[in-house]
Structure 1
Amino acid sequence: MVVHRCLCFVIIVTTRDKQVLAREFANVYQVEALKFDESMRPFNLNAFKQKHLQAEYQELSKKVVDYAKGIPFVLKLLGHRLRGKDKEIWESQLEGQVHNKKVHDIIKLSYNDLEEDEKKIFLDIACFFYGLQLEVKYIDFLLKDRDYSVVAGLERLKDKALISISQENTVSMHDIIQETARQIAGQESIEDPRSQRRLFDPDGVYEVLTHNKGNEAIRSIVINLLRMKQLHLKPQVFTKMRKLHFLNLYTAGTRDILLCEPWGLYLPQGLESLPNELRYLGWTNYPLESLPSKFSAENLVELHLPYSRVKKLWQEVPDLVNLKVLILQSSSNIKELLDFSKAPNLEVIDL
């Protein structure tokens, strides 16, 4: 009797780019982020060389694991970084959000592999749309460009694990990836600060808005007004920002704050204009009774003016052919709505 022994091998191939596998393999498994309890084990193994955490580090460990958001590589790096350090070092690292150069360098490798249009979409999501939980179709409308496909770009970012797209088709990004993206965006303008395209830092936004330093380079501005010093703006504040596509001045705070006077932002002489290139306009507690008459809004896709003082959006309603979302929640001074026939593609209204 002859016995044949068959040796079977399983080869596992991993990559940061899903398309590399899709071209060669029929079945591709997307590794999901670990749940919180599952994340504790790899972190503990690297931080304490054991499966269970030390009691005195319990709360600190939970904060670090929460920051890692279930990414095994990040859990391993942070565990190694904090191993053998005393509690004071842990606390100081947490205050600095546990920045780790290796993590950011790995993400930058994926970023460098992108085409220029994909980089543009990636930075727009990280520097403006982060946290908005927008669906793919709305991001497609907001970022639409004749030269490239936004949907294809989003798929590419998803394949490289730089963004996530949920079953509901909502786009999101991991906190750590967003941090890296914002570092990249900031480095774009190191040599010439006037060339910064995406403004999100409170000090930078304050400098541009209060001293009328806006220019055509600026593509987006987003800021939580509760993090700002008082802003006294001139009517011409947005005049030079002709290519501003995205503006979001919001207040993330308590309901009592939202119901009070316009928080820290004043337009004593009104507002002369807004850029006609605007596609997304968000302004919590908008302090005026209407939008500027010189604002054509022909490119506007989403308009968010919750808790505003608006009585009538426009004195004469422009053609709003691209408008899809209108939010006027808690704008209790409204006396007249716009002519909805001027917005034939409107899908969402929140009054």
Structure 2
Amino acid sequence: MVPSYVCNASDSELVDEIVADVREKLYPTGTIGFYSRFLGIENLLRKQSHDIYRLGVWGTPGVGKTTIAQTAFNLMSQDFEAHCFLEDFHVNFEEKGLYKLREEHFIEKLKRTTVLIVLDDVRNPMEAESFLGGYDCFGLASLIIIISRDKQILYQCQVQGFFEVTSLNKKEGLQLFNQFAFPEKEPSDSNLVEVSKKVVEYANGNRAALCSYGRALKERAKPEEMEVEFEKIKRHPPQEIMDVFKSSYDTLTDHERNIFLDIACFFKDEKLDYILRILEGCGFFPHVGVDRLVDRSLLMISENKKVKMHNLIQDVGREIAKTENSHIARMWEPSSIKPLLEDDEPKETEFIEGIFLDTTNINVFVNPNAFENMYNLRLLKIYSSSSEPSQELYLPKGLESLPYELTLLHWEYYPLQSLPQDFDPSHLVEINLPYSQLQYLWTGTKSLGKLKIINLSHSQKLVEVDELSRACSLKEIVLKGCTTLERTPRIDQLKNLELLDLSCCTRIKRTEVIEMIKPLDTGGLREIESGSMVFST
């Protein structure tokens, strides 16, 4: 036995892997990756006293919660006086009802008996408790395992330990995929192996996906055939995969569904505070909703506070966005957006809520009335994923209107000297128009009560932004590189301001800015470096 103080993290993982391999050889289960995960369950059970112990098992849809729990059940059941495994507990409870289900499994007769009971797919804690007749009616040293996709359900079931079923690693994933894709013999063609690894990478260790993809790609003898078929699968996930994730999606509230779809379609890998700010402006209560999606393993928050979503889940989310309703509300594919913006009479634009258009390698000549009927458009982002955009949007006849409901307006290289005169920006939370041709935002007084961020950096024709003085919620003003800007907005009334970037604004006098921010001294606005013209709290 290697002392723990000698092992570093990688050594410890290697020891666990060796132990798991040896146990699988001695006591084969046929479940790939089982023992390495069962070790985590054993560690939790070691904390069990002689009382009844409730263990919660959760994880991403399709990750193998039921598979791991079933294998553990088969391994441990001989140590208990009685045992039962209820697969699809929620469905059975709904179909059969409480009394019939209890009768089928002799629950009343198991009182005071040392039992192992596994309830798979619990969605309502009251159903679990009523089925068991309470959590404390069984014999000492009983073990109740509750499986759920929702960590909050496990909290409500008052479990004493949480076990998260982790995804398969790459080695395990390839082994499982090969079982289904190449049941006779693992491929020897190096190109075929490389394509298989791509599939495994994409599935991200999800058991259900690896099994499904393996069946779909079974016996594809040529690498190019497998690659083409795999691309089709990514664009249109198999129905069995859709069903796995759709059952989780169907339990979400309307706000949670909107948050999930917006992130899948538009905001994956973005900073958490940015997403919260925009979706709060949409009225979706994202501070609660994002936490609920994390509890359901549909999202992750990274250490640097970015919102992460597995590629597989993103593609399922995008497929739901395309197929859930008879009309499409979220658009991100340039080939679909281009005709929408160019046509004289595009259809069903009133249903569109979000457009994110990557202009790389595409020319679009925008109809001046393109946005006229997009009454529900909340999110508009026109950008280039390339550092050197080769193509762009053209507005040869100008732009007549922008939607009233816009919360996010992000348009890189905006080509006109102002925004449409009749545009009402009262719902805007963020304006992001870097490298624009703007000379001014608009004329007249507009309501900007919700605006928190404005970035007009490198808009080298910009002369003034006086109207920002009335945006009382503003937190950030970025005017970096606006070389023709003649004056800054009056910021002495902007009590929430946390950042003012005037770097490279050659016509702005530093002394005047410093004098202007004096009323904000209590808030801590300071020049971050003498002469930088960047002021922050």
> How far apart are residue 78 of structure 1 and its match?
2.6
Alignment gaps of 5+ in structure 2: 1-78, 81-140, 481-537
Q: Does 1:342 align with 2:342?
A: no
> How far apart are residue 227 of structure 1 and its match?
5.8
CA distance in 2, matches of 1:43, 1:291: 53
Q: Does 1:210 align with 2:338?
A: no
Aligned residue in 2 for 1:123 = 261
Q: Secondary structure at the match of 2:199?
A: helix
CA distance in 2, matches of 1:12, 1:189: 38
In 2 relative to 1, CA 304–54 (structure 1 residues): closer, same or farther, beyond 3 Å? farther
Does the 8 Å CA contact 1:312/1:336 hold for their aligned counterparts? yes
> How far apart are residue 301 of structure 1 and its match?
0.8
In 2 relative to 1, CA 101–336 (structure 1 residues): closer, same or farther, beyond 3 Å? same
Does the 8 Å CA contact 2:354/2:378 hold for their aligned counterparts? yes
Aligned residue in 1 for 2:148 = 15
Aligned residue in 2 for 1:3 = none
Q: Pick the aligned partner of 1:282 from 390, 395, 410.
A: 410
> How far apart are residue 246 of structure 1 and its match?
0.9
Q: Secondary structure at the match of 1:92?
A: helix
Q: Secondary structure at the match of 1:29?
A: strand
Does the 8 Å CA contact 2:269/2:306 hold for their aligned counterparts? no
Superposed CA deviations along residues 190-244 of structure 1, whole A, max 9, x for unmatched, are 4xxxx4322333343233222242643222222212364x322232221222221
In 2 relative to 1, CA 338–53 (structure 1 residues): closer, same or farther, beyond 3 Å? farther
Q: Pick the aligned partner of 1:73 from 178, 185, 208.
A: 208
> How far apart are residue 83 of structure 1 and its match?
4.4
> How far apart are residue 250 of structure 1 and its match?
1.7
Amino acid at match of 2:244: I
Superposed CA deviations along residues 23-81 of structure 1, whole A, max 9, x for unmatched, are 1114323445456566445445555579x974613321231122123434323433444
Amino acid at match of 1:234: N
Q: Pick the aligned partner of 1:222 from 328, 332, 356.
A: 356
- Counting matched residue pairs gives 334
- Correspondences of 1:1-150 after superposition (within 5 Å): 12-24=145-157, 25-33=159-167, 36=170, 39-44=173-178, 47=181, 54=188, 56=190, 57-87=192-222, 88-98=224-234, 99-135=237-273, 137-144=276-283, 149-150=285-286
Amino acid at match of 1:283: W
Q: Does 1:233 align with 2:372?
A: no
CA distance in 1, matches of 2:471, 2:436: 21
Amino acid at match of 1:341: S
Instruction: Give the number of the structure with larger relative contact order, counting CA–CA contacts within 8 Å between residues 6 or more apart.
Output: 1
In 2 relative to 1, CA 273–210 (structure 1 residues): closer, same or farther, beyond 3 Å? same
Aligned residue in 1 for 2:423 = 295
CA distance in 1, matches of 2:166, 2:432: 33
Does the 8 Å CA contact 1:158/1:164 hold for their aligned counterparts? yes
Deviates more, 1:323-332 or 1:297-306: 323-332
> How far apart are residue 126 of structure 1 and its match?
2.3
Does the 8 Å CA contact 2:269/2:307 hold for their aligned counterparts? no
Q: Does 1:172 align with 2:312?
A: no
CA distance in 2, matches of 1:26, 1:341: 54
Q: Tell me the C-alpha RMSD between the 2 structures.
A: 3.2
Superposed CA deviations along residues 132-191 of structure 1, whole A, max 9, x for unmatched, are 44435324423315xxx433332332222222233454333222222222222222444x
In 2 relative to 1, CA 54–142 (structure 1 residues): closer, same or farther, beyond 3 Å? farther
Does the 8 Å CA contact 1:317/1:338 hold for their aligned counterparts? no
In 2 relative to 1, CA 29–203 (structure 1 residues): closer, same or farther, beyond 3 Å? same
CA distance in 2, matches of 1:323, 1:312: 17
Aligned residue in 1 for 2:111 = none
In 2 relative to 1, CA 196–83 (structure 1 residues): closer, same or farther, beyond 3 Å? closer
Amino acid at match of 2:351: A
CA distance in 2, matches of 1:70, 1:303: 39
In 2 relative to 1, CA 216–96 (structure 1 residues): closer, same or farther, beyond 3 Å? closer
CA distance in 2, matches of 1:40, 1:348: 48
- Correspondences of 1:263-342 after superposition (within 5 Å): 263-316=391-444, 318-342=446-470
Deviates more, 1:9-18 or 1:54-63: 9-18
Amino acid at match of 2:291: E
- Please report the TM-score for the alignment, with normalisation by the length of structure 1: 0.81
In 2 relative to 1, CA 62–86 (structure 1 residues): closer, same or farther, beyond 3 Å? same
Alignment gaps of 5+ in structure 1: 1-5
Aligned residue in 1 for 2:385 = 252
CA distance in 2, matches of 1:9, 1:92: 51
CA distance in 1, matches of 2:388, 2:232: 30
In 2 relative to 1, CA 317–35 (structure 1 residues): closer, same or farther, beyond 3 Å? farther
Amino acid at match of 2:217: L
Question: Computing the radius of gyration over CA atoms, which structure comes out larger, 1 or 2?
Answer: 2
